Amino acid sequence: MFYFIAKRTVISFFIMFAATTLMYFLTISSGDPFEDLGETSGPEKAAIVAARTAALNLDQPPLMRYLLWLQEVGYCIVPGGVQCTLGTDRVGNAVLPQLENAIGSTFRLVIVATVVALFLGVLVGIVTALRQYSTFDYSVTFIAFVLFSLPLFWLSTLLKQYVAIDLNTWLANPQLSYLAIAGFGLVAGLIWSVVIGGDRRRRLTVFGTAAIATSVTLFVLLVTDWFINPALGPIGILVASAAVALGWVALLAGFRRRRITYAALATAAAGYVGYLATAPLMTDPNWLIVLALLVTTILVSLAVGTIVGGPYAGQARRISVVVGVSIGLLVVADRMLQAYPTLSAKAGGRPIPTTGSESVNLAGNFWVINLDYALHLLLPTMALTLISFATYTRYTRASQLDVMNQDYIRTARAKGLSERTVLVKHAFRNAMIPITTLMAFDFAGVLGGAVITETVFGWNGMGKMFVDAIGNVDPAPVMAFFIVVGSAAVLFNMLADIAYAFLDPRITLS
């Protein structure tokens, strides 16, 4: 392992060196750094030209300018000595503080979008593979190809109009006619009948049940003004906790081993008790308190899984941790929903923003601030997720179908293993090998492609810094952006190679 990492690090260093060399000379050759001074005259122009020449080392030949920039990067690699700045922009400001301010916003956007797209894409891809050539499979295939063909900037514009502007207008006075409520119910029933599938009788049953349940739920939410003052509340958390526990058991283990089911339900009960006990701490916490509660949740879940799981303690522990963390996320969602009326009032009744990465000078407690971050993430995350979702779904479906036709899958079934064990323990693990490669490229691709998303949504991140620097022929900020994106591509490809060894025992890192 150590030899592999050392070897890849050395190779990656030379790759980055060659790539940065090419990128630097392309940047400085892309235009005139004094183009904006064309209509300026007098002493002021001479002072600006002199300052910009000194900041960008324009009095030096291109090769020397590149070597001076490399020297600034070297200060960041070698500890001690001269302060790390990553060079200066055209007005003489250090680039590193600008990158530090921008990288947090961009990584917040990219990580959330990648995780959501990966989870949904892999889940839907596996289901479509298991239900090959069904109505659900054809429907997902059609949607995936439509999403994959949509230009990101056009999709972002649609989201701005219909998810932000129109939805904000509706949230100011949330009302629906009986016909609209029935229409939403019929659409929901149709979707669930396609998702669940089965024979005609089963589809009609699912359609009717889902349509009625959706219509009744929507009517109750409107009557109780839930859209104005949303929250799950103690009863909602209790019901959702039990549903989460049973759902994870059904997905990961099945109900044949009762001790695992009891462990999941016991974890849900412990989580609910913890929710009630920690209510004062969660009124206005900080990230340290949230992290401490997360660690406590994991430890308690492990203990419950070990005690209640009995002979199936290993599997019970894993499921208990998933259940415990899921309930923790429910509690966080409930707290953010409770902060919604306050944030909506501060936003003038239009809580879903269309531009920016955060509200300027927003005052509020922990939940108001983080709900503001989440709502600013909503539109750009949806845009990036929908595009990546199409790719993950198609690749996962193809990989799962290829694995399901292998001899060892037929052998596992012939040994009498349950279908869930065959799918989760044997097929899924091997189907993830090509997806691991896709994840490595996709993260770096989304990180670089966030330039378009940030431009459309006015997101103050690395993309904006990159676009402004390109327009100004300012190489240092461009190179700072390139170093981050290039390093991410190299790092995640190395992590993908390491992951191969854990997913497939036939692969070694020698």
The three-state secondary structure class of 88 is strand
Nearest residue to 81 via CA among 71, 92, 93 = 71
What tokens were used for 250? Answer: 């059904």
Instruction: Compute CA distances 391 → 140, 262, 368, 395, whole Å.
Output: 12, 38, 34, 6
Per DSSP, the residues of 12-50 read HHHHHHHHHHHHHHHHHTSS-TTGGGTT--SHHHHHHHH
pLDDT at residue 72, as a whole number? 84
What tokens were used for 62? Answer: 């291109």
pLDDT at residue 145, as a whole number? 86
pTM of the model: 0.80
Per DSSP, the residues of 199-263 read SHHHHHHHHHHHHHHHHHHHHHHHHTTTTTS---HHHHHHHHHHHHHHHHHHHHT-SSSHHHHHH
Nearest residue to 356 via CA among 364, 347, 367 = 347
Q: Report the distance separating Cα 101 and Cα 460, nearest Å.
A: 9
Task: Give me the phi and psi of 282, to 5 degrees please.
Answer: -85, 0
At CA 130, angle to CA 129 and CA 135, rounded to 5?
A: 80
Q: Report the distance separating Cα 14 and Cα 26, nearest Å.
A: 19
Nearest residue to 391 via CA among 15, 100, 114, 67 = 114
Torsion sign over Cα 380, 230, 330, 342: positive
pLDDT at residue 464, as a whole number? 83
pLDDT at residue 275, as a whole number? 93
Number of H helices and number of E strands within the chain?
Answer: 20, 0
Nearest residue to 504 via CA among 418, 380, 408, 376 = 408
Q: Report the distance separating Cα 308 and Cα 263, nearest Å.
A: 5
User: Residue 393 half-sphere exposure, CB side, CA atoms within 13 Å?
Assistant: 26
94 forms beta bridges with 88
Place of tokens 């990966």: 118
What tokens were used for 196? Answer: 């669940």
pLDDT at residue 331, as a whole number? 93
The type of residue at 14 is: F
What tokens were used for 352? Answer: 């879903």
Q: Report the distance separating Cα 209 and Cα 193, nearest Å.
A: 10
Per DSSP, the residues of 309-359 read HGGGHHHHHHHHHHHHHHHHHHHHHHHHHHTHHHHHHHTTT--S-SS-SS-
Could you state, in order of their start, the residue ranges of all structural domains in the chain?
2-99+458-503, 175-224
The three-state secondary structure class of 94 is strand
Q: List the chain pLDDT tens, one digit each, 510 residues.
A: 667 777 777 888 888 888 888 988 988 888 878 777 766 666 777 787 788 888 888 888 888 888 988 888 888 777 665 677 888 888 888 888 888 888 888 888 888 888 888 888 888 888 888 888 888 888 888 888 888 888 888 888 888 888 888 888 888 888 889 999 999 999 999 998 888 877 888 889 999 999 999 999 999 999 998 999 898 889 999 999 999 999 888 878 778 888 999 999 999 999 999 999 998 988 889 899 999 999 999 999 999 999 998 888 888 999 999 999 999 999 999 999 999 998 888 888 888 888 877 887 788 889 999 998 888 888 888 888 888 888 888 888 888 888 888 888 888 888 887 777 788 777 887 788 778 777 777 777 777 667 788 888 888 888 888 888 888 888 888 888 888 888 888 888 777 777 776 766 666 655
Furthest-apart CA atoms within the chain: distance in Å: 88
At CA 32, angle to CA 29 and CA 33, rounded to 5?
A: 105
Torsion sign over Cα 356, 360, 365, 366: positive
Nearest residue to 388 via CA among 117, 166, 63 = 117
